[in-house]
Structure 1
Amino acid sequence: MKIVKVEVSIHAFQNSIPLINKRLEDDYRIICQIETDDGHTGFGMASRFLWHGVAAIVEKHIGPAILGMDARDLEKIHARLQPILSERGSMTGINLSALSCVDLAIWDLLGKASGRTVAEMLGGAKDYADVYVTYGFAAFDIDQLIEMGRILIGKGHSRLKMLVGSKLGVLEDVRRVRAVRAALGDDIILAVDANESIGLEDAMRLCPYLEECNIAWFEDPFRRVDARDMGMMRKRTTIPLSAGQMDGHSLRFREWVEHDGLDIFMPNSMYNGGMTETRRVAYLSQIYNKPLSDAGGGGIWCLHHVAGFRNGTLAEMHLGTEQVEAQMFVDPPQQKDGRIDIPKAPGFGVTLNQDRLKETRVTP
C-alpha cells in the first residue's frame, strides 16, 4: 500500500450568518488527496489560516517525503516528517495544519482499505456523536440571539454555545448571556467561548456573572490560554474550562494538565497534526479521566474521535461549517434531535462534490 500520489488544492466557500443573512468572508479549505499503488484513495483537510502556506508545505515538503512509503506505517511516516517540519522543538502553526490534512487523508485511506470508519478504527465506542451548536455570534443583537436559539431548539437542539469577548465590554457580554439564559430556560445546556479574544483580567471579571447562569463550560477564555493562568483561573471559578481548538497537540494538553488548568479536552484534528495526534490527546484525556469533546468547526473530521473513544462527549456543529460541508460533500450527515450518526461508509464516510470543488478552487 505504497503512497504514489499526494495532491493538494485550495478552495474558497461562501457562507453567511443565518437569520440576518450577513455575508461573511470566504471560508478557505485546503484539501489533500492521497493515492496508493493498489488503488486506494483518501482525502483530508485543513482550514482557514494561511492557506497558500499550508498548501505549499504539503506540495513542496510533505508530499515528496512520503512518496513510496506504506500508508499503514503511521509512526514511520510521522518520524520521517518530524525533522522536516520542525528541525528543533515542537511543531506549531501552519506546519501542524499541513501535517493535519495529510494525516487525515491517510486515515481516510486506511479506513476505506479496511472497510471500517475512522470512529471504528479509533475504538468504536459509539456509532454517533451528540452535538452542541455554536450560534451566538457577535453580529446578533440580543433579540436575534434569542430568536436564533429558539429556531435551533425547534430543530431538536438542546446544547448551545455563545461567543463572548464583545467589543462593548464585559458587562455587555453579561447582558447577552443573561438574556439568552432567561429566554431559553434552564433546561438548555449553554456554554460560552471567548476565542482567546480577551485578556485574563476580563475573563476573570466575567466568571462570577456567568456562574449564576449555569454555564456548561468556558472555552478558550483568554488570549494564549497560558497553562499557569488557566490553572489559577480554574481554582477561582466553578465554570468548567476547556481549550485545544487551535494548538491542541499532546504537549500543549500535557501543560494544561500539569497546571491543573483544564476540565474538558477539545482537540481539533484540522490544526493539531491530524487524527494521529488527536489519538494521543484522547489517550491522555482517558489517563486523567477528563471528557473528550471538540471545538473549532472541525465538522466531519472531529465527529469521529468523539464517537470513537468511550470518554467522548460532544462534537461541535458550527453554523458556518455546516454551510461549507453542505457545499463540499455529497449528502453530508445531518443532525437529528441533537445527534449526528457516523456515516456508514468507510473512512470518514463522506464523498467530495467534485463539481463544486472545481467551482471553488483557488489558483495559487
Structure 2
Amino acid sequence: MKITDVKLTKIDLGSRPVAWHDATFTETSLTFSLTQIFTDDGLTGIAPSGNSQELIEGPLKDMIIGEDPMYMEKIWNKLYSGWCHPASSGWEIRALSAIDIALWDLNGKILNQPVYKLLGGDRDRVPAYVGGGYYAEGKSIQDLQEEMVEYIGMGYKAVKMKIGRLSITEDIERVKAVRDAVGPDITLMIDANHAYTSAQAILFGRKVEELDIFWYEEPVPATDYEGCAAVKNALDIPIATGENEYLRWGFKDLINHRAVDIVQADPAICGGFTEWKKIAALATSNNLKLAPHGGGNIGAHAVASLPEGLNVETYPGLRAAGAKVMNFFEIEDGYIVLPKSPGLGLEIDWDFFK
C-alpha cells in the first residue's frame, strides 16, 4: 500500500451568534478542517484538524507520496526533518500534526482497530469536561452561572471557565459565582490563557484557592517556564499547561523546570499522536498526568491509551455547529464513550465536501 494524495478541506460553519473572548483572543466564526490521506488500496485516513493548505498539500505532501503509510516513524521524521532546517514550533508542526493524526486513522482502518488501542489501550470511556465560561459583550455573571448549570444538565461533571480578561477583582467574583452555581461536587477549572505575570497569577490563585479549583490553566505565557514554576510553587492548586508547547524537546524543558502538574499536550498541535506518545513517556516518567487540550474526538483516543490520561476537553457550542459535518462522541454521565470502529471512529457527512 502506498500514499497517493493528501488534501486539506476547510468548511465554513458560519458566524457565532455572539463573538466570544478568552483573556487574549476573540473568535467570531467557526470552521471545520479535515485532512485526508489517500492510498492506492482505496483506504483513506482522516483527521478533523489542519491549518495550512499551502503546507499540507504542498511540501509535506510531496515528502510522503509513495510511502507505505504503516512506516509511521519514518514518515514522521521525514515530515519533521525534510526542511532545510527542522521547525521546532509553529505552523509547520501543526500541519505535520494533522497528517500524523490522519495516518493513525488510516493505520487503524488497515488493522481494523480503534486508534486508542493502537496507542496502547487502557479503557474505552474517559472523563469529559466543558471548555466554556467565555467572555461576551453584555454577558452578566448571572448569564455565566446559567451557562455552567446548563452544562451540568447535559450530564457533565466538570466545567472550565475563562479568567484574565477583566480585573483580578472582577474575575474572582466570577469564579465565586460559578462555584456557588454548580455546587461543591462539580469539578471546576480556571483558564487564564497566559494573561498574567507570575506575580499576578499568584495573587489571583491565592484568592480562589478556597474554592476547590481542580486546576489553574496557563497562568503565564507558555515559554515562561521560570514564572510558571514560581506560580506552581506558591499555590496549592495544580498547574495545567502545555497546549501551546511543541514537540518532546519543548515539553522536556517545561517538565525539567518543574513548571507543570498536568501536561496538556494537544496531538493536533504538539506533533500528532506519534509525538504525543513520546511526550507522554516524559510526563509519566516524572509522575505527571496528561489532559490534552482541544477537541474530544482526538483527545479521547490519547487519554484512553494510558492510565495516566486524566480527562478530555469538549466544546458544546462547537459540537452543535459541527454536528452537521461530523459526528461527535457521545457524552454519557460525564464520560466520552469511544467507538469500537476502526481508526478514529469518525462519521463524516461527505456531502459537505463535494
Q: Percent identity?
A: 31
Structure 1 residue 31 corresponds to structure 2 residue 28: no
Q: State which of 330, 334, 339 in structure 2 corresponds to 1:334.
A: 330
Kept in 2: contact 1:45–1:100 (CA 8 A): no
Kept in 2: contact 1:248–1:266 (CA 8 A): no
Give the root-mean-square deviation of aligned CA atoms. 2.0
Deviates further, 103-112 or 252-261: 252-261
Alignment of 1:131-210 (within 5 A): 131-139=128-136, 140-166=139-165, 168-210=166-208
What letter is aligned with 1:127? D
Gaps of 5+ in 1: 359-364
Q: Distance in 2 between matches of 1:274 and 1:348?
A: 13
Q: Distance in 1 between matches of 2:175 and 2:195?
A: 17
Q: Distance in 1 between matches of 2:226 and 2:81?
A: 29
Aligned counterpart, 1:290: 288
How far has the Cα of 1:82 moved from its partner?
2.0
Kept in 2: contact 1:306–1:312 (CA 8 A): yes
Structure 1 segments, 4+ long, off by >6 Å, are none
Cα deviation, 1:278-299, whole Å, max 9, x if unaligned, reads 111112222111111121x322
What letter is aligned with 2:183? G
- TM-score, normalization: structure 2? 0.92
Cα deviation, 1:95-115, whole Å, max 9, x if unaligned, reads 011101111111000001101
Kept in 2: contact 1:163–1:193 (CA 8 A): yes
Cα deviation, 1:68-121, whole Å, max 9, x if unaligned, reads 111111111122222234x33652111011101111111000001101000010
Q: Distance in 2 between matches of 1:259 and 1:348?
A: 34
Kept in 2: contact 1:132–1:157 (CA 8 A): yes
How far has the Cα of 1:249 moved from its partner?
2.5
- TM-score, normalization: structure 1? 0.90
Structure 1 residues 152 and 335, CA gap change in structure 2 (3 angstroms): same
Aligned counterpart, 2:340: 344
Q: State which of 247, 254, 258 in structure 1 corresponds to 2:256.
A: 258
Q: State which of 120, 124, 132 in structure 1 corresponds to 2:121.
A: 124
Alignment of 1:1-364 (within 5 A): 1-14=1-14, 16=16, 25-46=28-49, 51=51, 54-85=52-83, 87-88=84-85, 90-139=87-136, 140-166=139-165, 168-295=166-293, 297-329=294-326, 331-358=327-354
How far has the Cα of 1:351 moved from its partner?
1.8
Structure 1 residues 43 and 291, CA gap change in structure 2 (3 angstroms): same
Matched positions, count? 346
Gaps of 5+ in 2: 21-25
Q: Distance in 1 between matches of 2:170 and 2:107?
A: 49
Kept in 1: contact 2:3–2:67 (CA 8 A): yes
SS of 2:135's equivalent?
Answer: coil
Deviates further, 170-179 or 192-201: 192-201
Cα deviation, 1:221-278, whole Å, max 9, x if unaligned, reads 1223411111121111111001121224322211111111110011111111211111
How far has the Cα of 1:24 moved from its partner?
5.6
